[in-house]
Amino acid sequence: MVKFLPFAVAALIAALPVSAVAECGGLRGTGDLGLVIERADGAVQVVDTTRRRALCTVTGLGDLSHASLVFSRDGRFAYVFGRDGGLSKVDVLTGTLVKRVTQAGNAIGGAISQDGRLVAVSNYEPGGVRVFDAATLEMLADIPAIAADGSRGKVVGLVDAPGLGFVYALYDAGEIWVAEMGKDATAPKLTKFTGIGRLPYDGMVTPDGRYYAAALFGEDGVALLDLWNLDKGVRRILDGYGKGEQPLPVYKMPHLGGWSTAGRLAFVPAVGRHEVLVVDQKTWEEVGRVAVYAQPVFTTARPDGRQVWVNFAHPHNDTVQVIDVPTRTVVQTLKPGPAVLHIEFSPRGEHAWVSVRDSDEVQVYDTRSFDKLASLPARKPSGIFFTARANRVGY
């Protein structure tokens, strides 16, 4: 459910052995492929999760700091959302850049529709959402984020809600919009929720596609929208979650994510605390806290929901901790190395792939024994994305 990568200072490009090999292009299944973002190089590396190796590198994708991507429903193509407004379509199978359009001046993530026909991008400048034909990257709809007060601002937290359309938040104005994409994608139907709270800075959808949650930077709490009951409007949950009351300096605003399916619990990084909050997804109330090593950034649930892996803010970002969900205790502390930016599980959860930016590697762990199985060279890796995302809700 992790949608965005942490903000981070630009890294120096060091003189490193090139990790690229050239094993892309042959007839093969795409179910065990993935992409690793090499942020400093504007490149993505294609990886094989069965053999645990890099296959090839695709370059020329522009500024990939804070980049994310989604996959086509056949798993062959990735749509990479660059910070510079670039939208790149990469052929994962052949390792080639199919097309790249600069669709805005400054952008932050995107989503693909449930049927795979549409790709939407969330833009800061000009503020709004633009929707593209997934096959051609032709722009089909341009939805400026003009708030109720007439101002235009940044869009964040864009997701696809199954059977409904794209959902996102207006950062400056504090609104949540639902854009229903009917048969005519050039004419989305907009439903707007205003006054949802100050400065929503991130959003996510629960794995069942039902709830959209937007974290607020400007006040305590999280705004929650029941996408199956839009009439009920947005409500506030988790008062005390937000920025207002933190007892420690906040090094980094944590992202939403890591919603466990073990029982009905969500694991949410606390802001400015060395804790992970445990939230009951039925009542949306906090039901517990787990003490962790430092300020958590991402919480990522293993696909079976039995473990939640946590990474941390600088200067403790060399560490990963594993929470055992049934007992709500930390059962393992790993030290992958400097600047752990992202964790991605293999689709059935046997392995965790961890990007370690400042040691230029991606590490693969066995999630049962916690043995390190492999280390793959990668240049300043950040996000790791496996094709199984194509088949899940909320991307």
Q: Which residues pair with 87 in a beta bridge?
A: 81, 101
* Residue 136: exposure state from Cβ atoms within 10 A (0-12, 13-18, ≥19): exposed
Q: What is the CA radius of gyration of the chain?
A: 19
Minimum Å gap between C-beta 367 and a second copy is 8
Considering only residues 95, 336, 347, 381, which one is a binding residue for a second copy as defined by CB under 8 A? 347
Under the binding rule (CB under 8 A), the answer on residue 235 touching a second copy is no
Tokens of 146: 């003009």
Q: Name the residue among 242, 87, 248 with its Cα closest to residue 158.
A: 87
Under the binding rule (CB under 8 A), the answer on residue 264 touching a second copy is yes
Under the binding rule (CB under 8 A), the answer on residue 393 touching a second copy is yes
Write out the DSSP string of 225-273: EETT-GGG-EEEE-TT-SGGG-SS--SSPPPP-----STTEEEEEPSSS
Of residues 42-61, those binding a second copy (CB under 8 A)? 49-50
Under the binding rule (CB under 8 A), the answer on residue 390 touching a second copy is yes
Minimum Å gap between C-beta 343 and a second copy is 17
Under the binding rule (CB under 8 A), the answer on residue 7 touching a second copy is no
Phi and psi angles of residue 215, each rounded to the nearest 5 degrees, phi first: -85, 140
Q: Which stretch binds a second copy (CB under 8 A): 10-18, 23-31, 82-90, 312-320?
A: 23-31
Q: Which stretch binds a second copy (CB under 8 A): 25-33, 56-64, 121-129, 167-175?
A: 25-33
Minimum Å gap between C-beta 389 and a second copy is 9
Considering only residues 94, 106, 332, 375, which one is a binding residue for a second copy as defined by CB under 8 A? 94
Considering only residues 23, 52, 73, 316, which one is a binding residue for a second copy as defined by CB under 8 A? 73
Q: Lay out the site mask for a second copy across 314-333 (x = CB under 8 A, - = otherwise).
A: ------------x-------
* Residue 7: exposure state from Cβ atoms within 10 A (0-12, 13-18, ≥19): exposed
Give the containing element (helix H, strand E) for 298.
Answer: strand 296-301
Taking the least distance from each CB to a second copy, the nearer of 312 and 345 is 345
